[in-house]
Structure 1
């Protein structure tokens, strides 16, 4: 995210909020109780959203998937867990799943950033070459 992009421009996920220092957190209420389950603090909003989805699905057993952030990912994240679990066990499973997603996204980030930097370097080189040729030939550079 660059300086010109505000937090409001990013996609909002259900049950996820951003701390002022930049980490993403999620928590969920246990149905029928005043208790909240802390699901963790993550580097990416997607990881926090997945943790919330796992906890929501196993705590509430919804009849529809409308309240999930990533309903299309249900089979890959939720199928391997027993259906009769305590809230604390659900908290652990949700947190572990969120951390796994966070790690995967963080590992992908350097490759994406390297590719973006390479593309920017190639684009800026061609613009600079074009402008330099224009100046040498007595023309003006329209990009400056």
Structure 2
């Protein structure tokens, strides 16, 4: 028998205290009030945080966090990643914090572009099917 907290954590959306729906939470990702998604990570062994950027999608911010986490911690962090199977094969663990920041940002922006393009194609296909159906 599952509790309500188990059920809500398995859903892809949940309700916040004010009743608004929120998307699934990813590690290292948070949503700004105006809808942009941001990511940052702590540098292991220090109190410093490394800013990974602002993204249009939570998936973009999550991939940026995954790349930075892997670059900073190596293969010991694989179980903590949001998308372990999507880790780029070019990810290196011998980078400076500034290089980690750039690699993470590039990966996050690429994921943002992929999700935004996918949404636009889906929306265009829906419009096309509606317009074609209207005339048949």
Could you say whether these structures have the same fold, taking a TM-score greater than 0.5 normalized by the shorter chain as the test? yes
- Structure 2 residue matching 1:61: 3-state secondary structure: helix
Give the TM-score of the pair, scaled to structure 1: 0.71
Instruction: Name which one, 1 or 2, has greater alpha-carbon Rg.
Output: 1
1:89-108 to 2 correspondences below 5 Å: 89-108=99-118
Which residue does 1:71 correspond to in 2? 84
Residue 106 of structure 1 and its aligned partner are, at CA, apart by: 1.4
Show structure 2 runs of 5+ residues with no match.
Answer: 1-18
- Name the CA shift for 1:89/1:45 in 2 (closer, same or farther; >3 Å): same
Cα distance in 1, alignment partners of residues 20 and 126 from structure 2: 20
Give the TM-score of the pair, scaled to structure 2: 0.75
Where is the strand percentage greater, Structure 1 or Structure 2?
2
Cα distance in 2, alignment partners of residues 42 and 64 from structure 1: 23
Cα distance in 2, alignment partners of residues 121 and 11 from structure 1: 33
1:4-43 to 2 correspondences below 5 Å: 6-8=20-22, 10-43=23-56
- Aligned partner of 1:53 among 51, 55, 66: 66
